[in-house]
């Protein structure tokens, strides 16, 4: 059963956030949390909080399931471009150069594996192969 968490209008450029999101795509939740905790980028703090929110959403959907036995992994993480704030910076001879302060939207989906033949280890090896 999947759980979704969204984070809108994060004041970081989408390119910088995608660099952090690529580090944890397809990983187990515990492994992803440890990667995000020790990543020095500013976007890692926001993604760590978002991942914890997705885990809390999963627990709300599955109150009788145990988190330790669930084998949760990051199924999908998407970083989309948000709105841009447009500012002007003074330039020589009375001109103005445009500055775009970019933002992004992050969507995170976590899922648990049932007692089937696919595990999170298989997903991690498939991600490494691609």
**Tens digits of per-residue pLDDT, 67-104?**
888 889 999 999 999 999 999 999 999 999 999 999 99
Lowest mean pLDDT, pick from 29-33, 34-38, 52-56, 117-121: 117-121
CA-CA-CA-CA torsion sign (50, 56, 62, 65): positive
* pLDDT at residue 55 tops 90: yes
**Distance from the Cα of residue 35 to its chain's centroid:** 12
Q: What is the total count of domains within the chain?
A: 1
CATH number at residue 30: 3.90.470.10
**Cβ distance 76 to 54 under 8 Å?**
no
Q: How confident is the model at residue 127 (pLDDT cuts 50, 70, 90)?
A: low
Please choose, from the candidates 115, 7, 22, the residue with its C-alpha nearest in 3D space to the C-alpha of residue 74.
22
Return the pLDDT at 115. 41
* pLDDT at residue 121 tops 90: no
**Model pTM?**
0.83
**Cβ distance 74 to 24 under 8 Å?**
yes
| Burial of residue 72, with CB atoms counted within 10 A of its CB: 0-12 exposed, 13-18 middle, 19 or more buried | buried
Return the pLDDT at 79. 97
> What range does the domain containing 13 cover?
2-128
């Amino acid at each position: 059963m999947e759980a979704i968490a969204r984070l809108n209008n994060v004041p970081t450029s989408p390119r910088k956030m995608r660099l952090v999101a690529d580090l944890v795509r397809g990983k187990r939740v515990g492994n992803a949390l440890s990667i995000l905790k020790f990543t020095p980028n500013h976007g890692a703090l926001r993604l760590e909080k978002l991942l914890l929110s997705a885990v809390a959403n999963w627990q709300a959907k599955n109150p009788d399931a145990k988190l330790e036995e669930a084998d949760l992994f990051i199924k999908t993480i998407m970083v989309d471009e948000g709105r841009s704030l447009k500012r002007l910076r003074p330039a020589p001879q009375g001109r103005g150069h445009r500055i775009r302060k970019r933002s992004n939207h992050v969507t995170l989906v976590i899922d648990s594996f049932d007692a089937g033949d696919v595990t999170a280890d298989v997903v991690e090896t498939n991600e490494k192969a691609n």
